[in-house]
Amino acid sequence: MRVTPGERLFYLLNHVFLLFIGFLAAFPFWNIFVVSFNEGRDAMQGSIYFWPRKFSLEAYIAIFNESSLMHATYISIARTVSGTLLGLIGSAILAYLLSNRELVFRRGILFFFIFTMYFSGGLIPEFMLIKNLHLYNNFLVYIIPGAISVWNVMVMRQFFEELPPSLAESARIDGASELSTLKNIILPMSTPVLATIALMIGVAQWTTWFDTYMFTSGSKDLATLQGVLVNILMETQIQSTDPMQAARLEQAGSILTPEIIKMATITITTVPIIMIYPFLQKYFVGGLTVGAVKE
Task: Give the three-class secondary structure for 37.
Answer: coil
Distance CA 100, CA 84 (A): 24
Return the amino acid letter for 290.
V
286 pLDDT band, cuts 50/70/90, is: low
Specify the pLDDT at position 89.
92
Q: What is the mean pLDDT of residues 275-291?
A: 64
Global confidence as pTM = 0.75
pLDDT digits (tens, 9 = 90+) for 126-167: 889 888 988 888 899 999 988 888 999 998 888 888 888 887
Task: Answer whether residue 10 is part of any domain.
Answer: no
CA–CA distances in Å: residue 242 to residues 23, 39, 44, 247? 39, 20, 17, 9
CATH number of the domain within which 170 lies:
1.10.3720.10
CA–CA distances in Å: residue 5 to residues 9, 20, 65, 173? 6, 23, 60, 60
Task: Answer whether residue 196 is part of any domain.
Answer: yes
Check residue 55 and report its DSSP letter.
Answer: B
Task: Give the three-class secondary structure for 75.
Answer: helix
In the chain, the number of structural domains is 1
83 pLDDT band, cuts 50/70/90, is: very high
Specify the pLDDT at position 20.
94
pLDDT over 80 (residue 255) = no
Task: Answer whether residue 203 is part of any domain.
Answer: yes
Distance CA 190, CA 164 (A): 12
Task: Answer whether residue 95 is part of any domain.
Answer: yes
Task: Answer whether residue 51 is part of any domain.
Answer: no
Task: Answer whether residue 4 is part of any domain.
Answer: no
Specify the pLDDT at position 295.
45
Task: Answer whether residue 179 is part of any domain.
Answer: yes
Structural domain harbouring 83 = 57-288
pLDDT digits (tens, 9 = 90+) for 159-216: 888 888 887 778 778 787 888 888 888 888 888 888 888 888 988 898 888 888 888 8
8 A C-beta contact, residue 79 and residue 139: yes
Pick from 108, 158, 164: nearest CA to 289: 158
Task: Answer whether residue 29 is part of any domain.
Answer: no
